């Protein structure tokens, strides 16, 4: 069986053809990445992919969407597209479809991926638990959060909006970051601090603390120079980001009971893999006071599957449609 699998975020919409074998294994074609800013709607992006695919597509589609997926109208968190589920069959010309939250799809990928698809980040170097809850999060244009429970060879996935919990600073630098963000937002969520665009606010906060006059720079430039080490202030901002990400990952594990493991995902998480290993991410993850020993026993992994959203959306389709 073939189906179109789609992973739609704030910046990119990724498409691929998924082939599901008789044994349930899933293989993906080479993905096609389209910019959401280049298309007025999901339907026009779909038509563009259909044209690139020779004018025809399988009559089944699995969609992973960055935002809540319930209701008659689905609105994306970080792009202006909307999808009306009752019109999907008509507008796209498909017979079956599945729509899941983007990190719900990633959690499906975590449940289905084998151990070779994970890189160890922190805690005991052991596989994710076969029984228990696993927390999944990933920084990108926003901060995606989900969790899954598995046991007796089965699993269940729960989408969440955990990226919108309150940010809790742990030191004076994070106090300063919070104060800067409070000038623009009455309520500061963790997504304002540990998503890709947040590096600009972190960088500018550090510059202000050192009374440096810095020119306006976009987040991509800061990430590039910080990870390359060509700008010491940008490098400090990247390290600070990793610290905050460790804190948030630990908070989410505590809240969800993710004691079977924590998985970091997303394109930015993958690009940060070497930096995370050298940063204070692991120390911040376990820095939970009376629960430090509990946190230290949790394996923390990075999923290195090249397209977990596409793979997971296809897996979600298979579960829904048997």
- In angstroms, what is the C-alpha Rg of the chain? 20
CA angle 223, 224, 229 (to 5 degrees): 95
Residue 100, classed as helix, strand or coil, is strand
CA atoms within 13 A of residue 69's CA, in its CB half-sphere = 18
Residue 205 is assigned to a ligand binding site: no
**3-state SS of the chain: helix, strand, coil percent to 5?**
45, 25, 35
Q: What tokens appear for 320 in the block? A: 């829904």
- What are 35's strand-pairing partners? 12
Q: State the Cα–Cα distance between residues 157 and 178, nearest whole angstrom.
A: 32
State yes or no: 303 annotated in a binding site: no
Angle at 101 between CA 48 and CA 54, to 5 degrees: 20
Are the C-beta atoms of residues 8 and 80 closer than 8 Å to each other?
no
Tokens 């930015």 belong to 268
Residue 104 CA, chain-centre distance (Å), reads: 10
What is the rounded distance in angstroms from the CA atom of residue 302 to the CA atom of residue 310?
17
Q: Which helix (H) or strand (E) holds 52?
A: helix 42-52
Binding residues: 6-11
Q: Binding site for ATP: residue ranges?
A: 6-11
């Amino acid at each position: 069986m073939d189906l179109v699998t789609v992973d739609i975020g704030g910046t990119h919409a990724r498409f691929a053809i998924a082939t599901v074998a008789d044994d349930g294994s899933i293989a993906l074609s080479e993905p096609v990445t389209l910019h959401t800013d280049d298309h007025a709607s999901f339907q026009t992006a779909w038509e563009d992919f259909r044209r690139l695919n020779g004018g025809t597509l399988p009559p089944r589609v699995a969609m992973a969407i960055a935002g809540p997926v319930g209701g008659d109208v689905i609105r994306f968190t970080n792009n202006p597209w909307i999808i009306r589920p009752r019109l999907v069959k008509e507008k796209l010309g498909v017979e079956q479809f599945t729509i899941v939250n983007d990190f719900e799809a990633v959690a499906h990928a975590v449940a289905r991926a084998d151990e070779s698809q994970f890189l160890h980040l922190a805690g005991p170097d052991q596989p994710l638990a076969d029984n228990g809850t696993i927390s999944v999060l990933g920084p990108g244009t926003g901060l995606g959060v989900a969790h899954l429970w598995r046991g007796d060879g089965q699993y269940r996935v729960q989408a969440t909006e955990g990226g919108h919990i309150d940010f809790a600073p742990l030191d004076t630098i994070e106090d300063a970051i919070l104060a800067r963000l409070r000038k623009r937002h009455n309520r500061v969520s963790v997504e304002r601090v540990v998503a890709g665009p947040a590096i600009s606010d972190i960088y500018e906060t550090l510059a202000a603390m050192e009374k440096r006059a810095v020119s306006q720079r976009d987040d991509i430039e800061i990430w590039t120079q910080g990870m390359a080490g060509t700008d010491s202030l940008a490098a400090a901002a990247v390290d600070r980001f990793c610290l905050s990400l460790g804190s948030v990952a630990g908070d989410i594990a505590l809240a969800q009971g993710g004691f079977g493991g924590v998985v970091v995902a997303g394109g930015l998480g993958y690009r940060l893999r070497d930096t995370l290993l050298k940063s204070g991410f692991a120390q911040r993850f376990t820095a939970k006071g009376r629960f430090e020993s509990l946190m230290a026993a949790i394996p923390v992994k990075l999923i290195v599957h090249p397209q977990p959203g596409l793979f997971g959306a296809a897996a979600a389709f298979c579960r829904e449609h048997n």
